[in-house]
């Protein structure tokens, strides 16, 4: 669409690639199992149970208390208790053998998502995975291959792609509002130090992540929306990256303050840098500046931030305010508040489901992570965030670590679409 036509166009018909129908009361049953019924798994399970067609025959967690809470939740919602699986870390495989399970939600610690999702697809289950999708390139490829070979739906539950403002920016980008896109800046900057330890001082999975890995270990909340704006794997692709990291110190300091300078916690040798910055180049030459920081002391509320730059317009979301500037429409040299644009370019998903969605977590975005998966499975539509996208976004984890190890040297990002990104433009 040329720019003049775009500026004269209203929202009608613009960039509605994700249009969805409401789920209906008479949809056929969908039998969903959950692996990992901790905070996130239980939250998403609760949301799934608001869809009448969802039945839950089985749940799995190695922690019996959390498993029993989730079993009670399902029993109260559906009248029948699901079978629980809690005989150790591989018991999920017994659950996957059931032939009365159509789909699986994987909401275990991040380090387990890749293996469990591959196993679920290979067992013939549609799979919805929490973020990130995988920790290694082998797992990334494993997801792509098992999705293809199984013919089942795989979706990454990247809720940040479904924030109202992020979908509105996607509509604008797809309609050409910013002109050709050249640059984006985004980051996940969230003080998670308190989540690294249990009350008794043992490390949580988030703490183990920081102990065992360096690099950007949580890239998808920030990169996911940007990749969708830039048409990554749909006309462009992530091609290479280089990462620089600060020293590690903030979590150590926190551990010493909380548990004592001589405590075992204060002696843990954490691998994760306080902050990492990754520069990504796309095949078409756009640049993404991606920051990750989970341990620096800072106010809690802002977690993600975004900037998008095109030849004729720009968008900025600091996490506290969103602004936009469009050549020929905005006053010269002056940012405009984004709110009127968010209304004008509201995505069809929010028009259809906004009232229901806004009751869910993360600004209503959590609703769509479930709703879009159920719709794709029920209607046999392409996954909104398939394995190739999940793999490209998650490959930042091992590749940023490799770049840091190599002194910031560029690393090639595999083409997980195996060439299909060129044909998938538009
Ligand atoms: N999208 C979001 O906004 C968002 C928010 C929070 C968490 N998350 C993601 O959700 C995932 C879970 O996070 P959480 O905060 O719920 O953590 P959590 O620790 O509360 O829950 C994880 C659960 O997995 C269970 N588990 C561990 N190993 C298992 C195994 N082998 N088999 C079965 N169960 C196992 C644990 O006992 C625990 O109950 C993480 O990957 C995290 O990144 C996403």
The residue among 158, 373, 399 whose CA lies nearest residue 290 is: 399
The residue among 313, 333, 332 whose CA lies nearest residue 324 is: 313
Gap from CA of 42 to ligand 1 centroid (Å): 9
The residue among 175, 66, 161 whose CA lies nearest residue 366 is: 161
**Residue of 47, 66, 89, 107 to test ligand 1 pocket, by largest number of atoms within 8 Å of CB:** 107
With a 6 A CB cut-off, is 303 part of the ligand 1 pocket?
A: no
The residue among 224, 110, 113 whose CA lies nearest residue 160 is: 224
The residue among 41, 105, 102 whose CA lies nearest residue 73 is: 41
Asked whether 33 and 56 are in contact (CB, 8 A), the reply is yes
Question: What is the C-alpha separation between 103 and 218, in angstroms, rounded?
Answer: 25
What percent of the chain has a predicted confidence (pLDDT) above 90? 88
Nearest-CA residue for ligand 1 atom 41 is 110
Question: What is the C-alpha separation between 372 and 295, in angstroms, rounded?
Answer: 32
Instruction: Grade residue 28 by pLDDT with cuts at 50, 70 and 90.
Output: confident
With a 6 A CB cut-off, is 110 part of the ligand 1 pocket?
A: yes
Gap from CA of 35 to ligand 1 centroid (Å): 9
Gap from CA of 248 to ligand 1 centroid (Å): 25
Gap from CA of 131 to ligand 1 centroid (Å): 10
To the nearest 10 degrees (0 to 180), the angle between helices 39-48 and 365-379 is 60
* Residue 4 reports pLDDT greater than 80: no
φ/ψ of residue 125, rounded to 5? -105, 135
With a 6 A CB cut-off, is 366 part of the ligand 1 pocket?
A: no
The per-residue pLDDT for 301 is 66
Instruction: Grade residue 16 by pLDDT with cuts at 50, 70 and 90.
Output: very low
pLDDT in tens, 65-120: 999 999 999 999 999 999 999 999 999 999 999 999 999 999 999 999 999 999 99
26 compared with 361, residue with greater pLDDT = 361
The region that residue 79 occupies, defined by phi over 0 for left and psi between -120 and 50 for alpha, beta otherwise, is: left
Looking from the CA of residue 205, the nearest atom of ligand 1 is 19
Instruction: Find residue 60's DSSP bridge partners.
Output: 35, 85
* Residue 17 reports pLDDT greater than 90: no
Mean pLDDT throughout 156-179?
A: 97
Gap from CA of 36 to ligand 1 centroid (Å): 6
Question: What is the C-alpha separation between 7 and 3, in angstroms, rounded?
Answer: 6
* Residue 289 reports pLDDT greater than 60: yes
Nearest-CA residue for ligand 1 atom 8 is 40
Q: Please classify residue 67 by burial: count the beta carbons closer than 10 Å to its beta carbon, then call 0-12 exposed, 13-18 middle and 19+ buried.
A: buried
* Residue 19 reports pLDDT greater than 80: no
Structural domains in the chain, sorted by start: 30-158 (3.40.50.720), 160-353+386-423 (3.30.360.10)
With a 6 A CB cut-off, is 35 part of the ligand 1 pocket?
A: yes
Mean pLDDT throughout 374-403?
A: 98
The per-residue pLDDT for 22 is 40
Gap from CA of 41 to ligand 1 centroid (Å): 6
Instruction: Find residue 411's DSSP bridge partners.
Output: 241
Gap from CA of 421 to ligand 1 centroid (Å): 32
The per-residue pLDDT for 11 is 27
Nearest-CA residue for ligand 1 atom 13 is 40
3-class DSSP assignment, residue 413: coil
With a 6 A CB cut-off, is 63 part of the ligand 1 pocket?
A: yes
Gap from CA of 271 to ligand 1 centroid (Å): 21
């Amino acid at each position: 669409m040329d720019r003049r036509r775009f500026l004269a166009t209203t929202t009608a018909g613009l960039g509605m690639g994700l249009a969805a129908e409401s789920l209906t009361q008479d949809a056929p049953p969908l039998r969903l199992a959950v692996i990992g019924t901790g905070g996130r798994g239980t939250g998403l399970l609760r949301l799934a149970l608001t869809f009448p067609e969802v039945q839950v025959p089985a749940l799995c967690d190695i922690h019996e208390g959390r498993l029993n809470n989730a079993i009670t939740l399902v029993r109260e919602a559906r009248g029948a208790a699901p079978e629980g699986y809690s005989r150790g870390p591989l018991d999920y495989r017994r659950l996957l053998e059931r032939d009365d399970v159509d789909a699986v939600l994987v909401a275990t610690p991040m380090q387990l998502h890749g293996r469990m999702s591959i196993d679920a697809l290979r067992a013939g289950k549609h799979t919805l995975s929490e973020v990130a999708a995988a920790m290694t390139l082998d797992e990334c490829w494993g997801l792509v291959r098992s999705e293809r070979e199984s013919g089942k739906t795989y979706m990454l539950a990247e809720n940040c792609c479904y924030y109202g403002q992020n979908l509105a920016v996607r509509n604008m980008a797809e309609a050409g509002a910013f002109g050709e896109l050249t640059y984006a800046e985004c980051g996940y900057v969230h003080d998670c130090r308190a989540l690294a330890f249990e009350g008794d001082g043992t490390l949580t999975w988030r703490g183990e992540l920081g102990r065992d890995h360096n690099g950007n270990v949580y890239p998808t909340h920030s990169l996911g929306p940007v990749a969708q704006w830039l048409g990554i794997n749909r006309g462009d692709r992530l091609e290479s990256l280089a990462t620089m990291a600060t020293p590690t110190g903030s979590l150590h300091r926190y551990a010493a303050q909380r548990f004592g300078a001589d405590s075992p916690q204060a002696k843990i040798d954490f691998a994760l840098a306080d902050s990492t910055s990754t520069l990504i180049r796309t095949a078409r030459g756009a640049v993404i500046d991606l920051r990750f920081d989970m341990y620096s002391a800072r106010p809690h509320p802002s977690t993600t931030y975004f900037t998008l730059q095109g030849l004729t317009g720009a968008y900025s979301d600091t996490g506290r305010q969103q602004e936009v500037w469009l050549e020929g429409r905005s006053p010269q040299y002056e940012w405009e508040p984004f709110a009127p644009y968010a209304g004008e370019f509201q995505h069809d998903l929010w028009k259809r489901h906004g009232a229901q969605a806004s009751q869910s977590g993360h600004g209503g975005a959590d609703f769509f992570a479930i709703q879009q998966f159920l719709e794709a499975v029920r209607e046999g539509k392409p996954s909104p965030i398939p394995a190739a996208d999940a793999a490209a976004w998650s490959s930042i984890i091992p590749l940023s670590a490799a770049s840091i190890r190599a002194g910031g040297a560029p690393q090639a990002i595999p083409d997980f679409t195996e060439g299909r990104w060129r044909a998938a433009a538009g």
